Chain A
Amino acid sequence: MEKKSHLLLLVIFSSILLLGSNFTPIHSYEYDWMLGEQYLYAVRNYDYEEIRIKNGNYNIDEYLVEYQMNYNITNIDFETKRLDFSYYNTYGGQFFIYNYDFDMDYYSNYFTSLDDFIYIDYIWDSNNETIILRNFAINYYYQPQLFIEPNWTIFNQVWKNIFNESTVVDVVYNPNSENNDVINLKYFSESITSFTFNNKKSLDSGINQLTSSNTELSLHFDLSNVIHESYYDFELARTVYVPIEEYIIDYQFRYSDGGLLEFYSYREEISSTLDDEFYKEIFEFARAYGGLKSLDYPTFIIIPSFLLSVLIMKFSLKKKKEKVINGL
């Protein structure tokens, strides 16, 4: 064989080898996290409870816990896409080791339908002969992983599938029409007091934000006067449903382009007056990249843009210093 043919054969052979092995796709992402590095995160847990009764008696309880943890990535297995990290636990003063799968399949396997993420419950209110929203929750305030594979195509596809406007959120039997009323996500999002998806005021335009470069998810549900609570009326001998004055849920998280969690926050604010008893509750859970100072904002919801710019600045500085290509 000629020299050139040898060379051609070598090129073809090595190309087949490269394509055949799953070596290339794994290393095609730019990761913002790497082996042996430490990542400082701050966590906030805030709880406020206020009760006031008719005669003026009151009770207010406010509780805040914040902690700072340094996560140390101790092992990365790019074949099994498994990650080990350790951190110093400030409660017990001990080191803890934790591991999980960082690949994006995790998301696509975990969130197959809206039910996996949000719980919505409608019921038939026989007093007012109408369908009412009875329950709403983001399941376990879903907390995203700190370090993930930056496969944003899959990431956005997962959320697009889940937040499909024709997704049926509940089916309620309507005794008047003797039919089942089917409630879809579009109806839900338009019937509540206010709704935003990735900072857009409609489901449609929110979903359009889920491009392959999007690395965040932000949701705002204002269910004030739409969601109901109930009590048993002994005179009427039946359950009575009354709208809750204030019921606001904010949820958001954002990754850096390289798959490092920048921040996450869940916040709910609920207040109601029932039987001359006023009740208010605020619950907040947040996590941010950086030390405790990165939590020094009243809430992430109010000034996310400020926080964002700080984080982006931090990241751009960090990335310049230690740009990680091909995983390691």
Chain B
Amino acid sequence: MGYKKYRLFYISLIGVALITNNFFFAKPITAFVSAGDNFHYEYEISYFNRYDYPEYEAAFLEEDSEQWDEDIHIIEIDYSYKTILYERIYNFNKDNYTTSYDWESSISNHFDFNDLFYFNYRWDQDTNKPVLSDFEFYFYYFRFVDNNWSIINTHFADLLDETRIIYTVTNPDDMSVHNITFGDFLENIKSYKIQGRSSIASAKNQFSSNTTKWTFKFDLSEYLHYRDHYNTTFDYYVYLPVDKYTYELIIEYTVDGAIKYREENFEYETTYFTDEYEVTANYNYKLSLNKLPVQLEISYLSFIPALVFIVLVVKIRNKKK
């Protein structure tokens, strides 16, 4: 190959590298939100409740839905205390707020296993086995977060340990102690999906160093129990399964560390036998960032290397001629 041919080859290579990697113009991964950034959010919240009292032919249903928008304007970032001062325009009012974005050091306060999950098991003397009587999944909501994605992802992957003991129940009949592990819980519930996966092993792999979106979905239908009545003959409480209980959370941040999307869906349905009424309920929450001025600029910038490459190729071709 002649020198000119090599030159063309190298230029082509550089051009392709520029297009595919975009490293030259894109923001580095460590870039954080900055003062002057604007975010426009849209919210949608709705709930539905229905109660039926078949014995009296009575029923009650309630539905509420709210939609609104919100503008966030970052005024100042305090890097030493990891706080952000921002202006919020919401409900036709303008106010300033300060929020912490220090989620790395708040991992132990807000993202420990016991902060994310709450379990309550009871020994069911009727069936002679432990039953889940209460459950909650709570993912602490930060508006802005440190964008050191590998730390938080490693932390989440570490939490998913099937051998972790989540509850210890004593059988009052023989005083035997029963440990329930996270694995027992996951195996026995109707279904679950963490990062879209139905097994812990493959879910763990979904927490990579650049993951900024997390999804959790739990279906505890027929597994979660409610305490119905006290059986006076046998001296114990009767636990009955809840017909439907599903919870889903989707949370996503921009690479820069601003909340981008948050969705929560909850469904509940059951018949309370003793009190003779049925409940159907659901709750939906959705937050979405719908204007991405900063990211939009980046996507425009990514066209530049492609343009440079085309110009170069054309120039070289012309030269050759």
Chain A residues engaging chain B, CB cutoff 8 angstroms: 38, 40, 51, 53, 55-70, 87-91, 93, 291-292
Contacts and interface: CB of A to CB of B under 8 A. Distances in A.
B299 to A, nearest CB: 23
A60 B57 contact: no
Contact of B67 (A60, A69, A91): A60
Which of the listed residues B56, B57, B68 has the most CB atoms from chain A within 10 Å of its own CB? Answer: B56
B53 interface: yes
A247 B57 CA distance: 37
Chain A facing B: main interface SS = strand
Which secondary structure dominates where chain B touches chain A? strand
B66 A68 contact: no
Interface of B: 51, 53, 56-69, 71, 89-92, 275, 277
Contacts of B68: 57-60
Contacts, number: 75
B66 A60 contact: yes
Contact of A291 (B57, B65, B69): B57
B137 to A, nearest CB: 28
- Please list the 4 inter-chain residue pairs (A to B) with the smallest Cβ-Cβ separation, ordered nearest first: A90-B60, A88-B56, A68-B59, A64-B63
A51 B92 CA distance: 9
A68 B69 contact: no
Given A59-B66, A60-B66, 5 more contacts: A53-B92, A59-B91, A61-B65, A62-B64, A65-B62
A283 to B, nearest CB: 15
A64 B49 CA distance: 10
B66 A67 contact: no
Given A53-B92, A90-B51, A61 B56 contact: no
A67 B57 CA distance: 10
Contacts of B66: 59-62
A117 to B, nearest CB: 31
A305 to B, nearest CB: 26
A57 B53 contact: no
B64 A67 contact: no
A19 B89 CA distance: 77
A292 B71 contact: no
Contacts of A64: 61-64
